[in-house]
Structure 1
Amino acid sequence: MKKYLLLGLSLILGASLWAQERTITGTVTDAETGESVPGANVVVKGTTNGTITDFDGKYQISVGSDAVLVFTFVGYSPSEVEVGNRSVVNVGLNLDVEELAEVVVVGYGSQQKKEITSSVVALDEKEFNKGNINDPTQLLQGKVPGLSVYNKGGDPNSTSTIRLRGISTVGANTEPLVVIDGVIGASLQNVDPNDIESINVLKDGSAAAIYGSRGSSGVILVTTKKGKRGGGVTANYNGYVAAATILNEQPVMSASEYLAAGGNDLGAQTDWQDEVTRTGVSNVHNIAISGGAENTTFRLSTNFRDINGILDKSGFDQINARANISHYALNDKLKINFNMSLTNRKSNYSFNEALRYAALYNPTAPVRFDNGEFFQAVLFDNFNPKAILEQNINDGKKKELNFNIMAEYNITDALSFTVNYGQQYDNTLNGEFYPSTSFFRGLNRTGLARRYTEDGRFSLVEGYGTYSAKFSSVDMTVSAGYSYQENFREGLLLELGNFPTDDLGYYGIDLSGNRVLGLASNVNVDSWATPDEKIIAFFGRANFTIDDAIFLNASVRREGSTKLGVDNQWGIFPALGAGVDLNKYLALTGVDILKLRVGYGVTGSLPPASGYSKQGVGYGFNEGGAFSVTRDANPDLKWEEKTEINLGVDFGLMSKLTGSVDVYTRNVSDFLQLFTPEASGGGNTTPYWNNIGSLTTNGAEISLNYDAVTTPDLTWTTGVVASSYKSTLDDFIVDIPTVVGNLGAPGQNSTFMIRVAEGEDIGQIWGPVYDYVDENGAPVMKDLNGDGEIVADQGSALAENGDFEVLGNGLPALELGWTNQVTYKNWDFNAFFRGAFGHSLVNTYRAFYEPIDPGAINSYNRIKSDKAVDGLTVSQFSSLYVERADFFKLDNVTVGYNFDMSNSSAFKSIRLYANIQNAFVITNYSGIDPEPVLQDRGALDNGARFDPANQNVLAPGIDRRYNYFTARTFTFGVNIGF
């Protein structure tokens, strides 16, 4: 407020004030080196009168009497100088030691940013994505080079698919390890995005090796917000309301177009996609209280989320509470930190199948009969989408609790010891009910109910010591420790039918007639419990800094796991890293940072569950009951191992441009997967888990940030991250090519679209090439090998004389993120663009529903696109349905206003903002969402349940019919500080 008062006074005094002004010139330099500092801010204290230094560090400014000049620049401490009677004011700025010594959290400790030799990206709250963020991984989307985060369609009840530097494993855990406040493997769903202070991503093997068998897919370190010592008590409220609308609908025929194409007229005009979707209105409220005295700090927060998706009845209600208490004792030698978080979520999963049937259901069919009952035609694979949503139930509850207590004791100034104990519990209870009137499910079973429950418990105990010393020009830090992890899960599934009434839903599952009548196959009872999955590890690390410019790091972890064969339970995971600050020795003009670094690391992966080294047994009730082997034992099951070499350069130029470039190569050997031997000569065909192959990934990443404008009133910072990689299958247990990714029913079962072969790229979409339509309306494929015979049936996909070729690749060749942050006085503006290029998608909607079959058009609507072929009546997979899906989108744009609360005793800050997610998309893909599909979940027709263990990372690029529709979301929010 003071600056505005002074500005108003200057306007009133007018000529008399201007008469006292004079021009001041000078040069701003680095106080230590004497080099000029271009782009430094020079402002008359208490006013908006300012300028910046030119390329040579020179400036010129008009000032009044008794003026005080304030000099500021990134990386330097501010300097205030009284002008007095001088006409020339030269200033030397001192380096801001705290800023240059920025500390970055790494595994089991922290390092100064300049000393890091591995590929690590650190983001804080101001750099996160904005808007309606319900999944913490969305904070990082497009912000970290090499990190792919995709939630295709944006189903509020699904989590994002995350990949760090492409495919890191095939059958083990494909997503990065999450560490929250030091707790390994903590759940990201149990931390609210509003409570996160910073996220660090350990990308390469040399950074992640300290976490051993769980770090193969990278590591995401989350630090939550905490109170500050001596800061008093403060409170903050963050809240917003969001409205999600459909970005794209499937392009289907209208009722009139359908009738013109020969469709059956049922007398109505219904927009089925409109019937099953809505404007999803959500609201989020976060309240946090934090404070700190001399010896104790605390932060308590509560988060309420009422989230509604664009598919009717999809969404969740959630409450999350988090507490952090830190206490300092024994003259600050002892620090104790306690964290606890509790999440209670109630979800309505709805039915994504309603979106699929909304695209193909007859547009002239009414929603209901005149008597009020839902209209339903008795046809194969054809269900009233509105009835699916209204008649059936698919909901659930999940509770998560985690806590940890960490104590750090400084025995001396050089020696400290840290212990960490944590536990995490989760409970899931889901229910489904399909009444006897549901054609979708339940009709043929006189009602159908499912109840599913699962409990999990995870425990962690760790301790490590750290010793630091300085010898002449060498700084040394050495750490060594022990880790114990234990995980246990148990669950129960009940599925029964034949109910005397639908009124009780799944709560009446005990009334099922299947308990006393009917086939045993109509009763599904499944219960399970894992063995206690244990990991024990010993680890150590040494960091050396020589001459404050040469950095050496080394770590090793020896780890054992009960998931592996008894002779292969222990593994060793080493890492080495080196870096040098070249600019200290080259002293290049205009160069602030020039650091070269190289890292090598080994990490591992474990099977997704315990017991895979042992035999699996099942029991069948046929013929009086009998046991059978469902999975063969493999006592030789061992670690999947990843070795990675990373070369990187960090640079800063003219105090304006900073960035990094990384290139890497990594090899995954002995990767894990469930393998089924082929029958030959009466041999065994029972599946078993095995180490079955190896793959190599090569990639490059770049990150650039540029302070384009830095004036007192206006700033503009822009940044670009880009990454590219390619993965090759080097070795496979099956030495001949195979195909995966079944297109599915109706009519295209055993149509596999992805080629998997030794020595070839992963993600190849494989199929015949469309040529023309014959007189019967069937597609004719090209004779690719020129032998005069067209062999394009699916059974010949890998035949020597087959006419098949690579039609595209499901993995993007380039991923791009572009951030722009602008401030103008009290306004702030953030625009984030994102793109992916080089990937293709199989548009399964077109493959099934685009050809106009004269017989089927009487009952099923059709997709329409500019890629449709006139006269084509037969559906057969080919190049016709494989489309390049390059896209560039304005992913997130925010405008905010910060009110001046300097004269308010009640509020410290108030900020209002508006945000749009998915503002626009530029693409030639004719489907509803061009984002890559990094793994396949299978066909999943007619409401079949999805098993997360069936994710196939070797089959990317299939745009399935059950995908959630993409939304554009408008958000209005307020941040208030008290």
Structure 2
Amino acid sequence: MRTIAMAIVLLLLYAPDLMAQSRTITGTVKSDGEVLPGVSVMEKGTTNGTVTDSDGKFTISVSANATLVFSFVGMTPQEVIVGNQTSIDVNMITDISQLEEVVVIGYGTVKKSDLTGSVVSVGGDDLKKMPVATVTETLTGRMAGVHVSSSEGSPDAEIRIRVRGGTSLSQDNNPLYIVDGFPIESINDISPSDIESITILKDASSTAIYGSRGANGVVIITTKGGTSDGKVAVSYNAFAGFKRIAKTLDVLAPDDYVKWQYEYAMLRDNLDSYERYFGTYEDIGLYNGLKGNDWQRQVYGRTGTVFSNDLSVRGGDSKFNYSLNYARFQEKAIMIGSDFKRDNITVKLNNKPNNKIDIGFSLRYSATEVNGGGANEQNERSSTDSRLKHSVSYAPLHIPGLVVDSDDTNEQLAGDLTNPIRATWDNNRYQERNNFNIGGSFGWKIIDNLRLKVEGGIDTYNTLDYRFYGLTTYYSKNQGENAPAVVMADGKSTRLRNTNTLGYDFKDIIQNSDHRLNVLLGHEVLVNRFNRLTSTIHGFDEFYDSDAAFRLTAQGSPVSVDNFYAPDDKLLSFFARVNYDFKGRYLLDAVYRADGSSKFLGNNIWGYFPSISAGWKVSEEGFMQDAGGWLNSLKLRASIGAVGNNNIPTGQTFQFFESGTGASLTWVNGVNTFWAASRTMANPDLKWETTVTTNIGLDFGLLQNRITGTLELYKNLTKDLLVRFPTTGTGYIDQFRNMGETENKGVELSLTYAAIDREKYGLNFTFNTAVNRNVILSLGSLDEIIAGTNSNWASTQIGSDYQVRVGNSIGAMYGYVNDGRYEVSDFDGYNAGTDRWILKEGVADASGVSGTVGTARPGMMKLKDISGPDGVPDGIVDAYDQKVIGNFQPKHTGGFVINGYAYGFDLTAAFNYSYGNDVYNANKIEYTTANQNNQYRNLVDIMADGNRWTNINAAGELVTDMSELTALNANTTMWSPYMNRYVFSDWAVEDGSFLRLNTLTLGYTFPSDLTSKARIKNFRVYATGYNVFLWTNSNYTGFDPEVSTRRNTPYTPGVDYSAYPRSRQIVFGLNFNF
């Protein structure tokens, strides 16, 4: 009893202390401002614990002096001493060292640390913070070896992606685009807001599994899917903004324009052509101070607007998840009559009824409308229709007689120029693109580690392309019977796909954990069908515009209806991939693919494409442990493999013929006849173009991975090039042949530096650069291809201006070497009887290039005599003096991005650059030349009075006295614009190097404590500027050096002719997440 009594006394005495040792703690766990469910909350040293609920809240009873341990996958564990606290809120921080980034590759995924091929990717926050109109804009300047460029500044401008320079000589060098496993033609009609990640495969070990379609790289896009946390996530993103033309060209003021017209008339000895429109020479003063029409501003100077809205709903659980997305983008462009609209709908559903089966479904639809033509289009009937030319060169003031009224012009006198506004409406275009893609997948876990996946789908791509040619267009005057006409094309492409893969993981068979082996076997069938219906209608009434002609086609006269059905493009494929690693440090991948293509015949149908790659995680070796303080990761990679290319039109191996009778076939007697449906001669011996790629890579992480990077060296050798070979004299234009070899080799470097990484603020930098060298090793039996390499902007006045030659690269510009101008000192005198200047002995005569031999005069453009028929200078400048004077290929390209954040604010500045590439500025030639066909055109201000050579003195007299002419031009620097024809010399080849501040974004994310009251998880506002600033290496005289128009063939890149001017844009936007 005494013992029991003592115990009761002690219990009563110490009860207050014991009660103090046990207390209840509540709190909330968050990460980046969002609640975090499922976090483990444990009392350290005990088994007492709990987890946070769906709102991130927890309740736990702990003893005195307790320490709570908070842990969650991918987060840094945190320990909190309870002390006297009863409420504890914790913010979990991501543990980068625990995250294993997964990269999408061909027919599967792989941890980034286990990659052995050359792969780059962008996703997550990088995509969320870029309010762009097209997917390709998200890639500009962000990936080493991936060069993204646009041909001009129109809303629907062609955007090119080149991976390591491209491999083909004369064919399309676009990469293969894969969206959610389905190959598509273009990604420009996909909404950027739909995209979860973008991965680009660059070397053969990565692309070989795609076989014939991976020669130019592979772009894999994964769209957003559902969630599995049992919640519904709703996001709304919107931005609106405006844009203005970034740059215009300065032209002659009205008084200077009139003065030049006087000099031109005097040089032509036709003063009446001046006086009947402008008055006498003494009247020039009347034009002083007049303000001319700024036609560039009137055509391209309106304030454009952009609007974008997208709504996304995502949700689901471990059994079923879904994603729904709708997006609309609208743009009113800077050119009158030009606008763009795109609607996108995406649906993704995934169902997993049990642990063996999963079923997926996706639907993607896009509808795009484009109104108005660009400034210059690839399929223009003539360069006279190029709209920019009219707005630059048209007379700056109303000239009675030349200008009949505000809309009409005497074009014969005005040098094929039309009132720029009238020219824009007369050469109009309307386009529609409707893309519908539906796909499904079935996955079956047959047994442990053996998985079958069956995928199938259909993709339809319907296009309308309506062209209107009004009275002022070349087409109307030369083919349209001097009346408005329309050409209406309706195309349809249908692509069917079935892919079946069987994968097995050998981990249960190989009992040794040091070894890991995975095998994937696959079979794929692709069928592509295409047809196009083209209707040509002439003879509309003169007052018809494009809207009336497109709606009232019955009011015209049908000329032709062409219904073209291309042979089916079929591809049957078998492939296999083996992945092996030893101890997680030594990696080996092997791929083999066989493709059978309907584009080839007989033994050439099948192409075989193997590859092998290996990796070594050096940093995980024992001997590298001492470097662990500064070197966190180091991996060496090497690969070699082959990929193919069959990217030619179908039906090139056998000849098609069409039958017909009547007047259209009178060249064969007008009776039942058969004629070739194509102007390309068939070749039954065509076979696969093959590229062998060798790649060596180094991946590294330094200073706790604050600095990470990749260095790569590669070499691509392409053989059996599919080349269009000219077949002069056969009745055909050309023929596809396998001939020649090209080589691309280069170096790529990517770096990321996390300078500051704190919870509330941070700063990081990314940088990439790439060097690619392209060389033509062989052209089969040819040394060079000059025929057919004309950019054709000047019709026949300039012949071959590009050269394709062994030892050169694609894009070699071919012309004359400029030697300034002829000075008076180059002549012995002037012969008034013959009206000819007499060249001194030893001075080369270049007059045959720009006009007629023997007509050289002071002030004329001078060209260098560098060769002759015998290979030595002969005193005459002619075709023997042409040489390679420029190159489109840049020496290196790249970009860098600066990202910063602080207390809710975020700032992103993205730059891209190109260095060492040349631009063929054809505008510069046309806008500084007044030849016999364009007397009344205006000139750009480089030819302003006081800068151009002049032959007229203050009294308006034509000067031939040598001393007086020398004195008149003592301070002028340019030659005279007066020439008989255009001349392409290195003066028109400009350094196209540039650095562009492509986007600049400033955003602010409101605190979650504030937004949560309105049930908003995240609310961000931002402002973004596009094309903010452009630095050029030599003050490029055109609109923008990032340009490539008049691409009649792939041989002629880098021409700047009548390109739609780029705009400068600013948008304001917001992001909601509920």
TM-score (norm 1): 0.84
**Do the aligned partners of 1:836 and 1:887 also contact (CA within 8 Å) in 2?**
yes
Corresponding residue number in structure 1 for 2:552:
508
Deviates more, 1:66-75 or 1:504-513: 66-75
Deviates more, 1:813-822 or 1:920-929: 920-929
Partner of residue 914 from structure 1, selected from 1023, 1029, 1043: 1023
Counterpart of 1:611 in structure 2: which amino acid?
G
**Do the aligned partners of 2:481 and 2:539 also contact (CA within 8 Å) in 1?**
no
**Cα drift, residue 182 of structure 1:** 1.0
Counterpart of 2:715 in structure 1: which amino acid?
T
Counterpart of 1:754 in structure 2: which amino acid?
Y
Distance 1:550 1:81, change over 3 A: farther
Corresponding residue number in structure 2 for 1:633:
682
**Do the aligned partners of 1:320 and 1:343 also contact (CA within 8 Å) in 2?**
yes
SS in 1 for 2:506: strand
Partner of residue 966 from structure 1, selected from 1062, 1067, 1070: 1062
**Cα drift, residue 762 of structure 1:** 2.8
Between structures 1 and 2, the one with greater strand share: 1
User: What is the distance in 2 between the residues matched to 1:548 and 1:274?
Assistant: 63
User: What is the distance in 2 between the residues matched to 1:73 and 1:925?
Assistant: 55
**Cα drift, residue 129 of structure 1:** 8.6
Deviates more, 1:611-620 or 1:576-585: 611-620
**Do the aligned partners of 1:748 and 1:876 also contact (CA within 8 Å) in 2?**
no
Corresponding residue number in structure 1 for 2:26:
none
User: What is the distance in 2 between the residues matched to 1:966 and 1:94?
Assistant: 43
How is 1:710-859 mapped onto 2 (pairs within 5 angstroms)?
710-739=757-786, 741-744=789-792, 746=794, 749-774=797-822, 775-785=857-867, 787-793=872-878, 796=879, 802-851=880-929, 856-859=934-937
Counterpart of 1:873 in structure 2: which amino acid?
Y
Which stretches in structure 1 are left out of the alignment for 5+ residues?
1-64, 86-92, 516-522, 797-801, 939-949
User: What is the distance in 1 between the residues matched to 2:359 and 2:73?
Assistant: 34
SS in 2 for 1:506: helix
**Do the aligned partners of 2:818 and 2:985 also contact (CA within 8 Å) in 1?**
yes
Distance 1:438 1:960, change over 3 A: closer
1:569 correspondence with 2:637: no
**Cα drift, residue 469 of structure 1:** 2.1
1:152 correspondence with 2:180: no
**Do the aligned partners of 1:886 and 1:925 also contact (CA within 8 Å) in 2?**
no
Corresponding residue number in structure 2 for 1:13:
none
Corresponding residue number in structure 1 for 2:529:
488
**CA RMSD of superposed structures (Å):** 3.0
SS in 2 for 1:249: coil
1:604 correspondence with 2:604: no
Partner of residue 323 from structure 1, selected from 347, 364, 379: 347
Corresponding residue number in structure 2 for 1:477:
518
**Cα drift, residue 707 of structure 1:** 0.4
**Cα drift, residue 128 of structure 1:** 3.5
**Cα drift, residue 435 of structure 1:** 4.2
Matched-pair identity in %: 27
Distance 1:373 1:731, change over 3 A: closer
SS in 2 for 1:846: helix
Corresponding residue number in structure 1 for 2:723:
673
Counterpart of 1:451 in structure 2: which amino acid?
M
Corresponding residue number in structure 1 for 2:45:
none
**Do the aligned partners of 2:498 and 2:525 also contact (CA within 8 Å) in 1?**
yes
User: What is the distance in 1 between the residues matched to 2:542 and 2:976?
Assistant: 50
Corresponding residue number in structure 2 for 1:550:
586
Distance 1:474 1:736, change over 3 A: same
How is 1:181-192 mapped onto 2 (pairs within 5 angstroms)?
181-185=180-184, 187-192=186-191
Corresponding residue number in structure 2 for 1:17:
none
1:704 correspondence with 2:737: no
Partner of residue 707 from structure 2, selected from 650, 657, 668: 657
Distance 1:122 1:131, change over 3 A: closer
SS in 2 for 1:761: coil
**Cα drift, residue 296 of structure 1:** 1.0
Counterpart of 1:695 in structure 2: which amino acid?
T
Distance 1:69 1:833, change over 3 A: farther
TM-score (norm 2): 0.77
**Cα drift, residue 438 of structure 1:** 6.5
**Cα drift, residue 294 of structure 1:** 3.6
**Do the aligned partners of 1:810 and 1:933 also contact (CA within 8 Å) in 2?**
no
Corresponding residue number in structure 2 for 1:873:
978
User: What is the distance in 1 between the residues matched to 2:248 and 2:475?
Assistant: 23
User: What is the distance in 1 between the residues matched to 2:500 and 2:793?
Assistant: 54
Corresponding residue number in structure 1 for 2:215:
216
Distance 1:370 1:847, change over 3 A: closer
Counterpart of 1:760 in structure 2: which amino acid?
N
How is 1:508-527 mapped onto 2 (pairs within 5 angstroms)?
508-513=552-557, 515=558, 523-527=559-563
Larger gyration radius, structure 1 or structure 2: 2
**Do the aligned partners of 1:928 and 1:965 also contact (CA within 8 Å) in 2?**
no
**Cα drift, residue 381 of structure 1:** 2.6
Corresponding residue number in structure 2 for 1:178:
177
What is the total number of aligned residue pairs between the two structures?
A: 874
Which stretches in structure 2 are left out of the alignment for 5+ residues?
1-63, 85-91, 263-273, 279-286, 376-385, 823-856, 949-972
SS in 1 for 2:109: strand
**Do the aligned partners of 2:134 and 2:190 also contact (CA within 8 Å) in 1?**
no
User: What is the distance in 2 between the residues matched to 1:122 and 1:219?
Assistant: 12
**Cα drift, residue 848 of structure 1:** 1.7
Counterpart of 1:211 in structure 2: which amino acid?
Y
Corresponding residue number in structure 1 for 2:253:
254
**Do the aligned partners of 1:673 and 1:692 also contact (CA within 8 Å) in 2?**
yes
**Cα drift, residue 487 of structure 1:** 0.3
Corresponding residue number in structure 2 for 1:5:
none
Corresponding residue number in structure 2 for 1:360:
393
User: What is the distance in 2 between the residues matched to 1:849 and 1:404?
Assistant: 52
Distance 1:792 1:501, change over 3 A: closer
User: What is the distance in 1 between the residues matched to 2:424 and 2:189?
Assistant: 29
User: What is the distance in 1 between the residues matched to 2:399 and 2:106?
Assistant: 60
SS in 1 for 2:397: coil
Counterpart of 1:638 in structure 2: which amino acid?
K
Distance 1:753 1:83, change over 3 A: farther
Corresponding residue number in structure 2 for 1:927:
1037
SS in 1 for 2:799: strand
SS in 1 for 2:261: coil
**Cα drift, residue 812 of structure 1:** 0.7
Partner of residue 419 from structure 2, selected from 371, 374, 384: 384
Corresponding residue number in structure 2 for 1:23:
none
1:694 correspondence with 2:748: no
**Do the aligned partners of 1:830 and 1:894 also contact (CA within 8 Å) in 2?**
yes
Partner of residue 334 from structure 1, selected from 345, 352, 357: 357
User: What is the distance in 1 between the residues matched to 2:353 and 2:571?
Assistant: 33
Counterpart of 1:221 in structure 2: which amino acid?
I
User: What is the distance in 2 between the residues matched to 1:787 and 1:104?
Assistant: 59
Counterpart of 1:909 in structure 2: which amino acid?
N
Corresponding residue number in structure 1 for 2:4:
none
**Cα drift, residue 328 of structure 1:** 1.0
User: What is the distance in 1 between the residues matched to 2:72 and 2:229?
Assistant: 28
Distance 1:256 1:439, change over 3 A: farther
User: What is the distance in 2 between the residues matched to 1:647 and 1:400?
Assistant: 39
Counterpart of 1:869 in structure 2: which amino acid?
M
Distance 1:253 1:126, change over 3 A: farther
Deviates more, 1:836-845 or 1:490-499: 490-499
**Do the aligned partners of 2:769 and 2:893 also contact (CA within 8 Å) in 1?**
yes
**Do the aligned partners of 1:391 and 1:438 also contact (CA within 8 Å) in 2?**
yes
User: Per-residue CA shift, 1:745-801, capped at 9, x if unaligned?
Assistant: 6575342222211133332222221113232543222233594424543xx2xxxxx
Distance 1:386 1:975, change over 3 A: same
SS in 2 for 1:635: coil
**Cα drift, residue 254 of structure 1:** 3.0
Corresponding residue number in structure 2 for 1:312:
336
Distance 1:684 1:374, change over 3 A: closer
SS in 1 for 2:423: helix
1:538 correspondence with 2:590: no
**Cα drift, residue 291 of structure 1:** 1.1
Corresponding residue number in structure 1 for 2:227:
228
User: Per-residue CA shift, 1:612-636, capped at 9, x if unaligned?
Assistant: 0111435652241543343333111
User: What is the distance in 2 between the residues matched to 1:294 and 1:177?
Assistant: 33
Distance 1:295 1:534, change over 3 A: same
